[in-house]
Structure 1
Amino acid sequence: MTPEIVILAMIAAFLGLRLYSVLGRRAEHEEEPIQGRFEGRQGQKPGAPRVSAPPRPDQRSDDRARAEQPRQRAIPLAPPSVERGLAEISQADRRFDAAAFLDGARSAYRMILEAFWKGDKAELRQLCDDDVYAGFAAAIDARIEAGETLDNRLIRIEETGFTAAGVENGYARITLRFRADIAAVTRNAEGQVVAGSLDDAIETIDVWTFGRAVNSPDPDWVLEETDEG
């Protein structure tokens, strides 16, 4: 056997021993359990079925039903009389949600104002009752007769709050106070500005009352009264 072969054999044997020692230690460590690594919550073992905690014996079914219902979103603080009125509406109409109503009222406020400014009677007809619509329509006709147009813009609604609420003879009414910034401009037939400015927004306060029959299949509320705050 040549010296070169002997040397190569010694090197191969040395590498084989190193490889065995590394793999052997790794296998031994892999067999050792790692505490806490695969334990479920509160010591639950992997693969074990998760069982919900049973209800307390003293917990009634209606209490559990209320606990499972999603919480309504927070609404602005209101006087006790308004809170009672909102509760009456909720009892008469289980679909009613005060926070959702508030969001819808803000959208309606913008839609009604913009429809009036544009002279869109069809849109107003859908959103207002007969009396309010008649007032808006008369103002639009007078504006057209004078050859004037409105170039108003609702910059932002700063605040919306409940001022009254209640149910009477199956009909619900809710009054809101809107505080908004509006840029108002009136133009003549030639398009010239005769009043107002788009550069200066004016704080406007409107008090609007919306109504709806609680047993109506139509979920929409209509504007039935307008006033200034």
Structure 2
Amino acid sequence: GLRLYSVLGKRTGHEQDPLPRQTVEVGSVGYRKPVGNTAEPAYGDAQAAKPGFADASAMGGMRSIANADRQFDAQLFIEGAKSAYKLILEAFWRGDKEALRFLCDDDVFESFAEEIDARNSRGETLENRLVRIEEAQIVDASYDHPMARISVRFDADIAALVKNADGAIVGGSLTDAVETKDIWTFFRDVKSNNRNWKLDETDAV
């Protein structure tokens, strides 16, 4: 249940199409034109970025990714990125290295693992909770054959609670959520049969 398998930027074939079917007018990178139109799919259409969806500066990179990977769907990527954000945070909070190893590249995994080991050595446990993701926005995208990279800014509210080895609260509160702003970069080899995107870099805003 913790596998990210194909959750980012891929159509599964089970999504229901909206009715009536129409061409997506905004943020259409990676979207196909409706059935009945004989033109080629509009992978490279340069549409204005929808607020909360992508910065205009990222659109060129997303077009390049969409042209290289015909299954790429930018809006599905954002939904998958939000799921990945939750999965990775929760795996880190509970110290699940196995899940993190699958979801992250080696450098990010090692950073998370070191912090988990330090936390365990202090006898501390986290009871954090992702209250909500206020916004997830693509702020950068690039394609350098065969690697695709997409950076997403997450604005979220997180409730954090730290307990010591005796179970006593030593910091934080589950009733007062803290506003956090992070930029996470995901990458994938678009020529690989492996459809997984992995976390490549994390930065605080």
Describe how 1:181-192 pairs up with structure 2 within 5 A: 181-192=157-168
Equivalent residue for 1:157, pick from 99, 119, 133:
133
Equivalent residue for 2:169, pick from 193, 196, 200:
193
**Matched residues in 2 for 1:68 and 1:207: separation?**
28
The structure having more radius of gyration, on CA atoms, is 1
Aligned length: 164
Q: Which residue of 2 aligns with 1:143?
A: 119
**Matched residues in 2 for 1:199 and 1:77: separation?**
30
Equivalent residue for 2:192, pick from 216, 222, 226:
216
| Cα displacement (A) at 1:67 | 7.8
**Which is further off, 121-130 or 75-84?**
75-84
CA RMSD of aligned residues (A): 2.0
Describe how 1:163-174 pairs up with structure 2 within 5 A: 163-174=139-150
Which amino acid in 1 is paired with 2:112? F
Q: Which residue of 1 aligns with 2:54?
A: 78
Question: Could you report, residue by residue, the CA deviation over 1:76-127 in whole angstroms, capped at 9, with x for unpaired residues?
Answer: 4533330010000000110100011111100000000000000000000010
**Matched residues in 2 for 1:99 and 1:192: separation?**
43
More strand by share: 2
Question: Could you report, residue by residue, the CA deviation over 1:56-88 in whole angstroms, capped at 9, with x for unpaired residues?
Answer: xxxxxx96244899xxxx954533330010000
Q: Which residue of 2 aligns with 1:103?
A: 79
Normalising to structure 2: TM-score of the pair? 0.76
Unaligned residue ranges in structure 1 (runs of 5+)? 1-61
**Matched residues in 1 for 2:100 and 2:138: separation?**
23
**Matched residues in 2 for 1:142 and 1:68: separation?**
49
Equivalent residue for 1:64, pick from 29, 32, 38:
38
The percent of aligned pairs where both chains have the same amino acid is 52
More helix by share: 1
**Matched residues in 2 for 1:111 and 1:77: separation?**
21
Which amino acid in 2 is paired with 1:201? A
**Matched residues in 1 for 2:154 and 2:53: separation?**
15
Describe how 1:12-23 pairs up with structure 2 within 5 A: none
Q: Which residue of 2 aligns with 1:38?
A: none
**Matched residues in 1 for 2:159 and 2:77: separation?**
26
Question: Could you report, residue by residue, the CA deviation over 1:187-218 in whole angstroms, capped at 9, with x for unpaired residues?
Answer: 00011110000010000111100000110111
Which amino acid in 2 is paired with 1:123? A
Runs of 4+ in 1 over 2 A off after TM superposition: 65-69, 74-81
